[in-house]
A and B are shown apart, each in its own frame.
Chain A
Amino acid sequence: GESVGLHLPTLSVQEGDNSIINCAYSNSASDYFIWYKQESGKGPQFIIDIRSNMDKRQGQRVTVLLNKTVKHLSLQIAATQPGDSAVYFCAENMLGTYKYIFGTGTRLKVLA
């Protein structure tokens, strides 16, 4: 399979446990953030987003937390499943601008 992250940090989690993936973003002026999931050989897929006027946002089995004080973003995945195995990376943006800044990603491995 294709590897998009030979040198990525890896988080190994037992199936059924919760996963927490962290991201330090770079620009204090960023006000929109997205988490993407990228499976081997595929393009990144949108998981969840959050705007800077929020600290927390929940989706189905996923929660994103934003701490603007320390420029930190986290993705929590509840009851991690084998299908969650992928590379996860965050993206930051200033609303009204075209460009996103992407993190380098974390590889999540789910152990059966």
Chain B
Amino acid sequence: DVKVTQSSRYLVKRTGEKVFLECVQDMDHENMFWYRQDPGLGLRLIYFSYDVKMKEKGDIPEGYSVSREKKERFSLILESASTNQTSMYLCASSDQEDGYTFGSGTRLTVV
């Protein structure tokens, strides 16, 4: 019954590395989102996509980019990982009528 799948639960990367976080949904949703979650700050929107090849910046896009080549897949890219990007990353998808379905999250540590 898995609906939103994030490819990794835990990742450890070095400063300066290019990091790819993958997310796949099987609900045929138009909208997909990437959030990061930090203690005391809640969920902050990085980027979202409302259609294939379409993307919009969220509240904290700096240092990130995204790719949506297929409807079911939304990738988050850290161009050059930094220690302040250590966080829990959550992918979500939705249609227009209901709320988000979240993935299980990827805990990224940048050392």
Chain A residues close to B by CB (< 8 Å): 2-8, 32, 34, 36, 41-46, 49, 89, 91, 93, 96, 98-100, 102-105
Nearest chain B CB to A89 CB, angstrom units: 7
Min C-beta distance of B56 to chain A, whole Å: 8
A5-B40, A99-B45 are known contacts; what are 4 more A-B pairs with Cβ within 8 Å? A36-B102, A44-B102, A46-B99, A100-B99
- Residue from B39, B99, B100, B101 in contact with A7 in the complex, judged by beta carbons closer than 8 Å: B39
Is residue B50 contacting chain A, with contact meaning CB distance below 8 A? yes
| In contact, A2 and B42 (Cβ under 8 angstroms) | no
Partner of B37, one of A4, A34, A45, A100: A4
- With a 10 A CB-CB cut-off, give which of A42, A45, A89, A100 has the most chain B CB atoms: A100
- Kindly provide the distance from the CB of B74 to the nearest chain A CB, expressed in whole angstroms: 13
Interface residue B96 (Cβ < 8 Å from any Cβ of A): yes
Min Cβ gap B30→A in Å is 9
> Nearest B residue to A42 by beta-carbon distance?
B104
A107 to B60, CA, bound (A): 25
Chain B residues within an 8 Å CB radius of A89: 42-43
How far, in whole Å, are A55 and B56 apart by their CA atoms in the complex? 33
Report B96 CB to chain A, min CB distance, Å: 7
B75 interfacial contact with A, CB 8 Å: no
Q: Is the CB of B48 within 8 A of A43?
A: no
B96 touches A49 (CB 8 A): no
B107 at interface (Cβ–Cβ under 8 A)? yes
1/0 contact trace for B45-61 toward A, CB 8 Å? 10010100000101000
Q: Which of A41, A43, A46, A104 contacts B103 (CB 8 A)?
A: A43
Q: Mark B79-111, 1 if CB is under 8 A from A, else 0.
A: 000000000101000101011111111010000
Q: Which of B42, B45, B96 has the most chain A CB within a 10 Å cutoff?
A: B42
Residues of A within 8 A of B42 (CB): 89, 102-105
Tell me how far the C-beta of A23 lies from the nearest C-beta in chain B, rounded to whole angstroms. Answer: 11
